[in-house]
């Protein structure tokens, strides 16, 4: 049972063991990702949620400057500059695409929550000279609580923000790790929170494959055992490669 819990755990929490050196960066340029983020936020129709996203991601806001540069984790997935932008954008794009498939999901709430779910990492990690470390706030409060505080303060400053919308977005932030044992103070209790949690977990795990593939020695197909995946990762040769070699 313990093994199952470990392999199902979110990949961005405090972890034991040595910290891996950050990888060089995302596959796409930050400019490309920023363009995609602004295109996605433009699809949010609710005016209150658009105000919230503008307050966080407006080009002149200090929050956006930090968000654009921040890593997504200390190790395992997207542990490099621009990693938070890469991860959150991928989660939000997937959430936006899938929302129409399932009846009853408020796409605007889900996309907003997906973009903001890891916002607490701005206060959790310090990135200096290519080294990622946890801040005092990160150690004392944790990224979920810090994200909740940050977005609640932003909503309060906006004024006139509907309480039901605030509750919906804040619940996504609080519950996105999926369970109490994995660090969320509450479990996902809405369709939107459940969707964000599931896609977030998927994004983290696929990010681990990207990391392991970059580290794979030439000619190898299997990585070493990886705690995040609970197994070694297998990378088959591209179709036709082995036949040509034979």
Model pLDDT for residues 168-191, shown as the tens digit of each residue:
999 999 999 888 888 799 999 999
The ranges assigned to domains in the chain are 2-205
What is the rounded average pLDDT of the residues 41-48?
Answer: 98
Task: Give the sign of the dihedral formed by CA 233, CA 126, CA 69, CA 157.
Answer: positive
Q: Are 44 and 54 in contact (CB under 8 A)?
A: no
Could you give the CA distance from residue 133 to residue 10 in angstroms, rounded to a whole number?
A: 18
In the prediction, which pLDDT does 4 show?
Answer: 32
Interval 101-155: pLDDT, tens: 999 999 999 999 999 999 998 888 777 776 776 777 878 888 899 999 999 999 9
Beta carbons within 10 angstroms of residue 238's beta carbon:
8
In the prediction, which pLDDT does 18 show?
Answer: 35
pLDDT confidence band for 77 (50 / 70 / 90): low
Beta carbons within 10 angstroms of residue 171's beta carbon:
20
Q: Tell me if the domain spanning 2-205 has CATH number 1.10.3470.
A: no
Could you give the CA distance from residue 207 to residue 91 in angstroms, rounded to a whole number?
A: 11
Q: What would the 3-class secondary structure string for the chain be?
A: CHHHHHHHCCCCCCCCCCCCCCCCCCCCCHHHHHHHHHHHHCCCCCHHHHHHHHHHHCCCCHHHHHHHHCCCCCCCCCCCCCHHHHHHHHHHHHHHHHHCCCCCCCHHHHHHHHHHCCCCHHHHEEEECCEEEECHHHHHHCHHHHHHHHHHHHHHHHCCCCHHHHHHHHHHHHHCCCCHHHCCCCCCCCHHHHHHHHHHHHHHHHHHHHHHHHHCCCCCCECCCECCCCECCECCCCCCHHHHHC
């Amino acid at each position: 049972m313990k093994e199952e819990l470990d392999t199902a755990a979110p990949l961005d929490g405090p972890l034991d063991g040595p910290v891996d050196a950050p990888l060089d960066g995302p596959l796409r340029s930050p400019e490309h990702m920023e363009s995609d983020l602004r295109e996605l936020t433009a699809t949010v129709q609710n005016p209150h949620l658009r105000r919230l996203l503008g307050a966080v991601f407006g080009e002149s806001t200090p929050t956006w400057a930090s968000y654009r540069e921040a890593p997504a984790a200390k190790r395992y997935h997207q542990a490099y500059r621009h990693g938070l932008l890469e991860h959150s954008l991928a989660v939000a794009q997937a959430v936006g695409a899938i929302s129409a498939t399932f009846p009853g999901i408020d796409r605007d709430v889900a996309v907003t929550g997906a973009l903001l779910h890891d916002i607490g990492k701005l206060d959790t990690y310090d990135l200096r000279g290519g080294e990622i470390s946890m801040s005092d706030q990160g150690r004392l409060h944790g990224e979920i609580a810090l994200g909740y505080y940050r977005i609640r303060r932003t909503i309060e400053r906006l004024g006139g923000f509907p309480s039901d919308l605030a509750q919906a977005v804040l619940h996504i932030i609080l519950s996105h790790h999926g369970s109490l044992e994995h660090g969320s103070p509450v479990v996902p209790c809405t369709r939107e929170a459940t969707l964000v949690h599931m896609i977030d977990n998927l994004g983290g795990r696929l990010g681990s494959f990207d990391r392991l593939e970059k580290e794979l020695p030439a000619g190898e197909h299997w990585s070493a055992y990886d705690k995040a995946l609970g197994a070694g990762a297998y990378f088959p040769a591209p179709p036709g490669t082995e036949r040509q070699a034979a």
